[in-house]
């Protein structure tokens, strides 16, 4: 029974990260719509879809108790701002042919999480972890030197998601209730923006293309499904195993960007990725050892 539970955990976890890795295909399909409108619909439709999923999965709704908990609601307001920022940057990047930059950002993300532990939790780094931080720093520095610009997309995605994960880890709320409250908090702004666009006649939604309408509505499913799978995986397999799986998503987006959407990958940019992959290799030594030790035990 335990083996079956862990196997299903690996299945759900792998499915979630494959979904996230392939999600640029969805955003490319709605690339004719502004990133702001896509984000608004993603938030607006995520609320009813999350509610439906929670009812189907017989999850307890804790919205009322969350809103009456001052500390919890303040934390979720902060996480709402961070995840909204992350979603917007990702959407803008994909719809502006910058998928490779998003891949770079999510490869950097675990190193950002390590640094947050050092800054806010006074955690000590091992030599391998320091090596990972140095390698990623070299990769980012290479981007700045060779391209003459700050890799803001990659670093913004990595930083916002690392901060989001850090805050959500500290909050005593499950992923689905947390997502429901976050999207509910953002709903007035998102809904108001959609109504304003419709009033001004500038909305892509309900403008004559039923395919775009359905794609925008499905943004709620695109958001909710992988989070449900991820939540299921987190309960069934160890955290270090989940951390190992997270590299599926940026790997898939890297392949999509270079092989399917033909985004340019010059030697200078490849050098940056090489430094970051070296850093990830150093980062993964510890969790891989822990996985093998657990299997042996």
Nearby residues of 13 by Cβ (< 8 Å), 6 or more positions away: 229, 230, 233, 234, 237, 241, 242, 245
Pick from 66, 17, 13: which is nearest to 174 by CA?
A: 66
The pLDDT assigned to 188 comes to: 96
The pLDDT assigned to 148 comes to: 65
Q: Exposure string (b/e) for 229-267, b if CB count within 10 Å is 16 or more?
A: bbbbbbebbeeebbbbbbbbbbbbbbebbbeeeebeeee
pTM of the model: 0.86
Q: Give the C-alpha separation, 256 to 22, whole Å.
A: 8
Domain ranges of the chain: 2-296
Q: Give the C-alpha separation, 57 to 237, whole Å.
A: 20
The pLDDT assigned to 24 comes to: 95
The pLDDT assigned to 66 comes to: 92
- pLDDT tens digits in sequence order for the chain, 297 residues long: 555 566 777 888 889 889 999 999 999 999 999 999 999 999 999 999 999 988 888 888 888 899 999 999 999 999 999 999 999 999 999 999 999 899 888 888 877 877 887 788 777 778 887 888 888 888 888 877 776 677 899 899 989 988 888 888 788 888 889 889 999 999 999 999 999 999 999 999 999 889 999 999 999 999 888 888 887 777 677 655 666 677 888 889 999 998 899 888 888 788 888 888 888 788 777 766 766 676 665
The pLDDT assigned to 190 comes to: 96
Nearby residues of 46 by Cβ (< 8 Å), 6 or more positions away: 179, 183, 219, 220, 223, 224
């Amino acid at each position: 029974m335990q083996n079956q539970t862990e196997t299903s955990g690996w299945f759900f976890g792998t499915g979630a990260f494959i979904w996230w890795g392939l999600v640029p295909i969805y955003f490319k399909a709605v690339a004719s719509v502004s990133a702001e409108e896509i984000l608004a619909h993603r938030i607006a439709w995520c609320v009813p879809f999350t509610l439906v999923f929670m009812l189907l999965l017989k999850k307890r709704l804790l919205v009322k108790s969350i809103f009456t908990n001052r500390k919890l609601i303040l934390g979720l307001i902060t996480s709402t701002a961070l995840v909204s920022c992350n979603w917007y940057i990702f959407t803008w990047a994909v719809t502006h042919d910058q998928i490779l930059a998003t891949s770079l950002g999510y490869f950097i993300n675990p190193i950002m999480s390590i640094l947050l532990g050092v800054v806010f939790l006074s955690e000590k780094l091992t030599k391998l972890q320091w090596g990972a931080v140095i390698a990623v720093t070299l990769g980012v520095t290479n981007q700045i030197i060779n391209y003459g610009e700050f890799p803001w997309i990659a670093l913004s995605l990595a930083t916002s998601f690392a901060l989001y994960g850090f805050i959500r880890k500290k909050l005593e709320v499950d992923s689905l209730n947390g997502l429901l409250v976050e999207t509910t908090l953002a709903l007035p702004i998102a809904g108001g923006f959609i109504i304003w666009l419709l009033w001004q006649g500038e909305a892509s939604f309900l403008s004559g293309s039923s395919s775009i309408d359905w794609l925008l509505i499905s943004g709620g499913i695109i958001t909710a499904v992988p989070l449900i799978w991820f939540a299921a995986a987190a309960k069934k397999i160890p955290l270090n195993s989940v951390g190992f799986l997270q590299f599926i998503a940026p790997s898939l987006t890297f392949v999509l960007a270079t092989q399917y959407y033909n985004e340019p990958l010059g030697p200078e940019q490849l050098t940056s990725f090489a430094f970051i992959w070296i850093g990830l290799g150093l980062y993964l030594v510890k969790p891989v050892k822990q996985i093998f030790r657990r299997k042996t035990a």
